[in-house]
Amino acid sequence: FEISVIPDQDCCQLFVPAHPATRAHPEDVAAAESRLDVPALVALGVAATERERLRYPEEPAEPPALSVVGR
């Protein structure tokens, strides 16, 4: 909860409706989705993908000693 109340640029109240709808009606959703060009949106998403190969270093031969200072 603590982090969710920190102000951030993406949480600007200027762009948030005063009374947002919290329940969708199936006919409203169908009408909104019918205006979307889904194949074009999928193509844009696929075209924007990037492949990254992450490699982690091998394990050290001996783990580092733990600090016991202050115990």
Residue-wise pLDDT for 1-32, tens only, equals 787 777 766 656 677 777 877 888 999 999 99
CA distance 71 to 67: 9
| Coarse DSSP helix, strand, coil percentages of the chain, rounded to the nearest 5 percent | 40, 0, 60
pTM of the full predicted structure?
0.42
pLDDT given for residue 33 in this prediction:
93
Ramachandran area for residue 59 (φ above 0: left; ψ -120 to 50: alpha; else beta): beta
At residue 22, the pLDDT reads 82
The pLDDT, as a whole number, for residue 18 is: 78
Query: For a pLDDT cut of 70, what percent of the chain falls above it?
Result: 77
